[in-house]
Amino acid sequence: MKDIKLSNLKEYLKNEGKLAIAYSGGIDSLFLLKLATFTLGREQVKGYLVKHPLLGKENFKAAIKLLEKYQLPYEVIEINTLKVAAIKSNSVARCYHCKKMMMNAILDAMKKDGYSKLLVGENKSDLEGEIRPGKKAIEELKILTPLIDFNFYKEDIRKCARKIAISEFDMPSNSCLATRFPYGDELKVNKIRRVEKVEMILKIFGYPIVRAREENDILRLEIRRKDFSKLVKDGEVICELNKLGYKFITLDLNGYRKGSYDK
């Protein structure tokens, strides 16, 4: 059966000329980049991945691996987001400043490469519920949001990603590592790397969805509630986490909840 949303999006891409796409490693931007490359050809499309301290090392490696797997055109831009006071201090406006810094870095690079239009993978599901100051930065910079314009929700993206042969169509969503710390808690590279290591350990041991929240040297784990009994009996994981130097390691009895950071 023909997918009307997918067909309309492809027609839109055909008429937009050379396109730059902000690529994060998530399914939304991966779908958009692969569809645009398939529709327009490699010479007309380029993905831009921003490498910065708040992007986990493993997430960066995974993002590159997907680009290579699907032979997508890309460029990596490296910036230090922590040099901006509003970001380093983890202010409530952090996401706005971080998004604006990253998008401006892409805009500068793409213009040098001969691209005039920048697309991002924000979709209709991103407009629901969660506080997302980064949306303001996108609007101010007049960056194009075709997945919103063509009424794509997350489930639509996953379905269409599967149609264009992206085997990772059901990959779990991730979020900026700054969200592992409460607002006002200064962001430091060693702290960021520690919570990243916590999440990597849990994923290696079979906990696919996890958020490691840190405050005052206390670690609070958010995992699926169905994994609770497994974790509390998992001596090997507990032993590995104890090596990281936290005063206390706790389990959030509410379990993993999308958007819990701002609740």
Render pLDDT for 61-112 as a digit per residue (tens, 0 to 9).
999 999 999 999 999 999 999 999 999 999 999 999 999 999 999 999 999 9
DSSP E strands in the chain: the ranges are 19-23, 45-51, 74-78, 118-119, 210-215, 218-223, 248-251
In this predicted structure, what is the pLDDT of residue 130? 61
Q: Which residues pair with 19 in a beta bridge?
A: 45
- Shared domain for 145 and 242, answered yes or no, is no
Residue 218 structural domain: 188-262
The domain total for the chain is 2
Pairing of strands 74-78, 118-119: unpaired
174 band by pLDDT with thresholds 50, 70 and 90: confident
CA 178, 174, 116, 64 torsion-angle sign:
positive
Instruction: Examine the domain organization and report whether 101 and 151 are in the same domain.
Output: yes
Same-domain status, 141 and 24: yes
Q: Is residue 172 part of a domain?
A: no
What percent of the chain stands above pLDDT 90? 90
| Residue 212 near residue 175, CB atoms below 8 Å | no
pLDDT band at residue 134 under the 50/70/90 scheme: confident
Beta-bridge partner residues of 119: 21, 144
Q: Based on the domain organization, do 80 and 207 belong to the same domain?
A: no
CATH code, domain with 202: 3.30.1340
Residue 230 has pLDDT above 70, yes or no: yes
Query: Does any domain span residue 64?
Result: yes
Kindly state whether residue 175 falls inside one of the protein's structural domains: no
What does the alpha-carbon distance between residue 136 and residue 92 come to, in Å, rounded to a whole number?
13
Query: Does a structural domain hold residue 168?
Result: no
pLDDT greater than 60 at residue 1: no
Same domain, yes or no: 118 and 9: yes
- Same domain flag for 244 and 147: no
